[in-house]
Structure 1
Amino acid sequence: MYMLFMGVSALIYGPLGTTYGRRYPLVVACITFTAFSAGNALAPNLAAFFVFRILTAIQGTCFLIVGATVLGDIYRPVERGTAYGWFLSGTLIGPALGPFFGGVIVTYASWRGIFWLQTALAGASGLGVFFFVPETIHKKRSDELKGLSRKEKARKIWHWVNPWHVVVHFRYPNILVVGLAASSLVWNMYSLLTPIRAVLNPRFGLESPLQSGLFYIAPGAGYLVGTFGGGRWADHVVKKYIRKRGSRVPEDRLRSCVIAMGVVIPGCMLIYGWSIQKRVGGIPLPVICMFVQGVAQLFCFPSLNTYCLDVMQKRSSEVMAGNYVIRYIFAAAGSATCLPIIERIGIGWFSTISALFLVVMAVATWMTAQYGSSWRERIDKDSSEEE
């Protein structure tokens, strides 16, 4: 439910980031996220817990979408990959290392401590946003509301924040493919992280949440190491093709992630899954696979995410929102279905399915890098003829 509502809320925050700027939605999201996190910690029953988790999910998406568009506002295209790599280090290390710290807390204290820690972190982030993040958008749509009647304001605001403005961008094949490519990575990420305790505890005879939580350090360390190289590699590829072609084409950035997505991560998943199912390699082998695939993920996400900022600069917030809608639908599906599928067909075959998904999307991403520019031009031409 948390993942699903993160995807749904992207339909809201994408248009809001364009209409009211970057700073205002971020400040509001920080305040509400902190309050709802405290609500989780104080939840008197399971129903209240679910409600507050959903509410925190809705607010949390703002940081991913609006935070990303801030980078698009202040960094040049040839620098965005590096900046985005550092931005992603926080968004990816959290899901990887969170279960480890959660395991420590529930082993020695109450589960409510997890959400008091989250409340404290959210509050500190809110102070940072309030005091140190300026408005970065060049022109807010809301500035056009001055002097209008209440009815005219309502009509314009609805037109601007209508979720359809996010969905409509999927008519561009290149944007749809990049959304599915990011979804294959997120599917892989959450279907790897979610069942760690259920899969590895029986395999290695582990008993406590703390012991299984240690395995989350491997992908988290991989994400951190990948931060130093993934974004820079994406920018390097962009600069290489600028020298080669004499101009910048947004699709060139996608070339930087094809090998990692189509070879490295699928290879790691196959070795990880079958080594566990066949009980070979001991603890070091899955740990190494999780680390390497973590590094490779950070060689993919900066490329795919920054492409969303580059391809339609004036609509970057909405394009980014659409990408998060589709990827979190897959994240929700991966989190919800991975355990039942693993119990039915085994971790080996499940990892094979994940690997095939990645390979297919790597091929589609390569095709987008080759032909995406012409796809965009054709859609724009058709749209102008209809008008």
Structure 2
Amino acid sequence: MKNIHSKQHPTEAVEEDRESTAESIHNDLNPGYDLTNTIKPKNKPSYTEKDLESQRPSVQLHQTKSHVSTHDAHPIHDQHYEAGDEIYDKFPKWRKISIVAILSFSSFLAPISSTSILAASPEVVSTYNTTASIFNVSNALYMLSMGLSPLVWGPHGQTYGRKWTLAWAAITFTGFSAGSALAPNLASYFVFRMLTAFQGTAFLIIGGTAIGDIYRPIERVTAYSWFMSGTLIGPAFGPFIGGIIVTFVTWRDIFWLQTALAGLSAVLIILFLPETIHKKRSDQLKGLPKREQIKKLCVWISPARVMVLFKYPNLIIVAIASASLVWNMYSLLTPIRYVLNPRFNLSSPIQSGLFYTAPGCGYLTGTFFGGRWADAVVKRYMKKGGTRVAEDRLHSCLPAMGLVIPACMIVYGWSIEKEFGGIPLPVIAMFLQGVAQLFCFPSLNTYCLDVMQSRSSEVVAGNYMVRYFFGAAGSAAVLPIIDAIGVGWFSTISALFVAVGALGTWAVAVWGKDWRDRIDDGKEIN
């Protein structure tokens, strides 16, 4: 018989427990029957709990952090989770919200600069002793510069990452805004305005792509709608802010305010915005000879990388659809002071500036609903088809783009042309048109992120290039066309353009999956 203090193997203790349990169960089921004839336990001594505790093997468990999440525990995924979505768990929710807030504020800058000076156009014309038509050319050149810059910012954001590309753009935007405020003559004013626009587009392209870096496809439209609110509220509220400023001080103070806001954006980006890109192309340069590095960089940052994507029909159709909305927006906002002031006998910049707040309030209202509606549509189609298809989200913008916006433009134009409905009717039409645009832009922009994720920055850049080319054309052509055919017919033309864009978007939603098979073959191009 072993000494009570001798050690027992853990498996022996387990075996003894099993035999004891079996005997107990047998006695309960068969009272009076002696189980010792069939089960003969080994003659082992009793152990105290302390003794048994000393025999248990020492196993220390360590908490292991996930390599794809900032949380200690593995995330619980919902029914919409897709393989590979773990890359979007890099940042916690609060950090994602702060990133969207910084990007939304920055995206506000370039668009507000494009329209804030509109309310002060007579004052600028007087300062430089020019005409309203020449002044509108400066706005068209601003939009043209916004259209050209995506050829640069898109490839740079994909090569060097989001954070420092945005930081450089914010710093230079600040400097050129100050130059616009100090411009001594019309020529220098044109140059500084174009340079400001060239930097400002980076906020729109890189900012939107950064949102695609941190949100899953079925979540990102809601976040994108908040980002887009800055790009759309800026053009609408800019003239109102400019009207207040020019009423009490000079038009140059509009650009000094813009300079201060841009400086704040630069500080926020440098100090608080993390790098969001999953993999920078520049990382591939490590260890390569200098000659090979230069060769690869020339390929990666070439503007041709943006242009070549337009051989794919779904990308060019969605770009034209986006362009129809931008044409509509700037052709609506640009002539307000020239069209509405005579119609309603308005005399001050503040009075005409108030009309710009109608679409601005519509954009703000649409922010709360447009993104959620688009995400809900994607989830519904995903549940119906069993998988997520990038084109599904385009269905969400068809009612607003095909019906609401064209109807609002026609009502707005002809109510001004024929002088009926007073002030309320055009204001309501502008408000509803603003709401409807926030049901369109987030879906169109997010489609560009989804359809070709390995080159999302370049796809978004191409989309912005096309839309701002049309925005430039609209800004330059709106007043001459209105003078020639009237605001009613011009609004009808704009409405038809948007309707054609809606028809093209429907075609992409239906047949884009087949077209995308061709795009998939080009995803490996670096």
State yes or no: 1:280 paired with 2:420: yes
**Residue correspondence of structure 1 range 243-282 to structure 2 within 5 A:** 243-282=383-422
Alignment partner, residue 341 of structure 2 = 201
Cα deviations across residues 173-225 of structure 1 (Å, max 9, x unaligned)? Answer: 11111000000000000000000011101111111211111100100000000
What amino acid sits opposite 1:261 in the alignment?
M
Alignment partner, residue 105 of structure 1 = 245
Alignment partner, residue 373 of structure 2 = 233
State yes or no: 1:131 paired with 2:271: yes
Cα deviations across residues 284-322 of structure 1 (Å, max 9, x unaligned)? Answer: 000000000000000000000000011111110000000
Quick one: which of 161, 176, 198 aligns to 2:316? 176
Structure 1 length-normalised TM? 0.97
Q: Percent identity?
A: 68
Cα deviations across residues 118-175 of structure 1 (Å, max 9, x unaligned)? Answer: 0011111111111111001111111111222332221111100111111111111111
State yes or no: 1:340 paired with 2:480: yes
Runs of 5+ unmatched residues, structure 2? 1-140
Alignment partner, residue 69 of structure 2 = none
- Tell me how many residue pairs correspond in the alignment: 383
Alignment partner, residue 93 of structure 1 = 233
Structure 2 length-normalised TM? 0.72
Quick one: which of 134, 150, 161 aligns to 1:21? 161
Quick one: which of 361, 366, 371 aligns to 1:221? 361
Determine the C-alpha separation between the residues in 1 that align with 2:319 and 2:518: 19
Determine the C-alpha separation between the residues in 2 that align with 1:154 and 1:44: 40
**Residue correspondence of structure 1 range 1-387 to structure 2 within 5 A:** 1-378=141-518, 380=520
SS at match of 1:76: coil
Of the two structures, which has the highest relative contact order with CA contacts closer than 8 Å and spacing of 6 or more? 1
* Offset, 1:246: 0.4
Determine the C-alpha separation between the residues in 1 that align with 2:279 and 2:415: 54
- Kept after mapping to 1: 8 A contact 2:406/2:498: yes
Runs of 5+ unmatched residues, structure 1? none
- Kept after mapping to 1: 8 A contact 2:452/2:519: no
Cα deviations across residues 322-345 of structure 1 (Å, max 9, x unaligned)? Answer: 000000000000000001000000
What amino acid sits opposite 2:476 in the alignment?
A
Determine the C-alpha separation between the residues in 1 that align with 2:346 and 2:305: 49
Determine the C-alpha separation between the residues in 1 that align with 2:299 and 2:511: 32
Alignment partner, residue 91 of structure 2 = none
Instruction: Give RMSD over aligned pairs.
Output: 1.1
Determine the C-alpha separation between the residues in 1 that align with 2:265 and 2:380: 37
SS at match of 1:248: coil
SS at match of 2:219: helix
Determine the C-alpha separation between the residues in 2 that align with 1:152 and 1:379: 28
Determine the C-alpha separation between the residues in 2 that align with 1:344 and 1:164: 38
Determine the C-alpha separation between the residues in 1 that align with 2:278 and 2:241: 40
What amino acid sits opposite 1:36 in the alignment?
F
What amino acid sits opposite 1:135 in the alignment?
E
Name the CA shift for 1:157/1:378 in 2 (closer, same or farther; >3 Å).
Answer: closer
What amino acid sits opposite 1:350 in the alignment?
F
Determine the C-alpha separation between the residues in 2 that align with 1:189 and 1:291: 12
Determine the C-alpha separation between the residues in 2 that align with 1:226 and 1:379: 32
- Kept after mapping to 1: 8 A contact 2:451/2:516: no
